[in-house]
Each structure stands twice: as structure tokens, then as C-alpha cells.
Structure 1
């Protein structure tokens, strides 16, 4: 693991282990943030780049690099715990199929009762409401 960029209080590393792994980013960042003196950790799952800002008076660059290497090894061997998913209770994408189907039936019934038939055919927005 060779750093791409080293500036005072800042180090940037690239790893293929985090590229495309959106599911583990939060756990990976938390693992590195446990190191005293770490101010900020930012991982880009698209590029696989890891940016760490740290206080040089508290933690050395070598210790921080060891911590990052250990976190990457934990990721490689599947030892990094996955964080719990945030609550998506308001999201339609997380609805079960039965709930979506029921909602679509209710929208169809309401459209047929409330709208005259010719007008019902002219309203393409009903398809958008269905999701």
C-alpha cells in the first residue's frame, strides 16, 4: 500500500479492496477513526481512494498507515462488520412486492371511480404515481 499523496496532516491512498464496495465504507471509516488523532476519513467507493486527515501532534503517519493496512486486511478476509442498514421506512423502493401491488390496485380503482373513462386514458401521470 503506497500512498498516492502525502501532505502535512493528510494522506491519500488507493486500494482496489474498497472500490465498488459501498456496503462496507461506513465500517471501514469507523475502524480508521478509532485511531486517536484521526480527524476525518473519506472513502470513495467509485475510485477506491481513501483520504485521511489527522493531527500530526497526536498520531504519526506510520501508525496511521499501519491502521489503514490492518483495516484493509480485515476487509480482505471478511473480518470487517457490515453496518446496520438505515431506516428506509418512507422509501417506496423498499416496499415489499405485495404492498406495491396493493397500492397499484387501489390507485387503479380510484382512477376508474373518480375519472371518466376517456379522461382516464388521457392522463399518463397515473403511471408515474404507481412508481
Structure 2
């Protein structure tokens, strides 16, 4: 006697243009300026909170904490509490975070190379429109 087993749902192909695809959440997460900068900074090696604040320059403590929590929640950053007094917490990239940092490095270099052209275009645009 044979029984028909339910068929597993067909695996869907990830598509960032599909509004129901979780890949959109990944894009939203990494599109944040602070997330990109934190991941790039941690490529240099593990850092404590204060070192990250100095490296990023103008991030608020609240924004840094929120972004680090979201990156940790999504498996991009590892938070290591060394359980000392005073508290000693170190942040580092997870393997998935390291793979993302390689991609972001290309974007960082592009921004550093082309910011002048973007600034000039913005100035021309505003001048033409009397802004």
C-alpha cells in the first residue's frame, strides 16, 4: 500500500525585484550609511565601541548601538562581551560579514574616487535651477 507524500514546495529563486523576497531586507540593512561604514571599519579588525565611534567620526552613540545590534541580529557582526569590570565588549565581523566587507570595499573606493564628480554635478544642477 503506497501513500502519497506531500510534495515539498518548489524552492523559489531569490529575486530582489520580488517585494516578498527576503533579499530586500538584506539590501535595506546594508544600504544604511552607518551599516556600510561599520562593516568597512571592522574589516580592519575587532574594535571596541569607542574605537568605532572615533573611526566613524560623526555617529551618535544611539545610532552606533542601534546599528551594531541590527548587524549582530542579522549575523554580520559578532559581539563578544569579555565579562570584565569595567565592561569590555569587542565587535568583529562574522564570516558572512567578512564576505560583505569585500563587496563594500569596492563601493568605498568608488565613492572616494568619484565624489568630486558627484559634487560638481550637484553644484551645476543647483546653479542651473537657482538653488
TM-score by length of 2: 0.26
TM-score by length of 1: 0.26
User: Larger radius of gyration, structure 1 or 2?
Assistant: 1
